[in-house]
Amino acid sequence: RNLAQRSSDAAKETADMINESISKTDRGVEISGVVMQSLQAINGDINKLDDLMEEILTASEDQTNGIVLVNKSLNNMGEIIQGAAGNAEQTAAAAEELDAQSESMRDIVRELVEMIDGKNK
């Protein structure tokens, strides 16, 4: 009778331990599911981040290309401005030359007028 009681108690303890193990296993499966969902969410976020980084890289490359074009345009404008300044200097020199020639022609015309007036008197 004592042996039967101990066997019954042992069987009950074993059943309790098995039930506790099943509960812990179920809880472990539950936690694993939550961890799996979290890892999937993290993976999705990493994919989104990768896409954003790709967009940023593309935008940076576009911006760099734009800066290069602006720089080339500024260099071209500098060359054009230098050319225009050279042309302006040449035009100013030509204008001075024309002014001098015009003054010389006025002097010649005055002399001619004086000569003609002198002969007519």
Query: How large is the greatest C-alpha to C-alpha distance in the chain, in angstroms?
Result: 174
Summarised one tens digit per residue, pLDDT across range 18-53 is: 999 999 999 999 999 999 999 999 999 999 999 999
Of the chain, the percentage scoring pLDDT greater than 70 comes to 98
Beta strand residue intervals within the chain, DSSP E:
none
pLDDT bin (cut points 50, 70, 90) of residue 104 is very high
pLDDT above 80 (res 121):
no
Complete DSSP assignment for 43-54: HHHHHHHHHHHH
Q: How far apart are CA 102 and CA 96, in angstroms?
A: 10
18-27, 48-57, 74-83, 108-117: least confident range: 108-117
Break the chain into its structural domains and give their ranges.
Answer: 1-88
Percent helix, strand and coil across the chain, each to the nearest 5: 100, 0, 0
pLDDT above 80 (res 69):
yes
Q: How far apart are CA 33 and CA 46, in angstroms?
A: 20
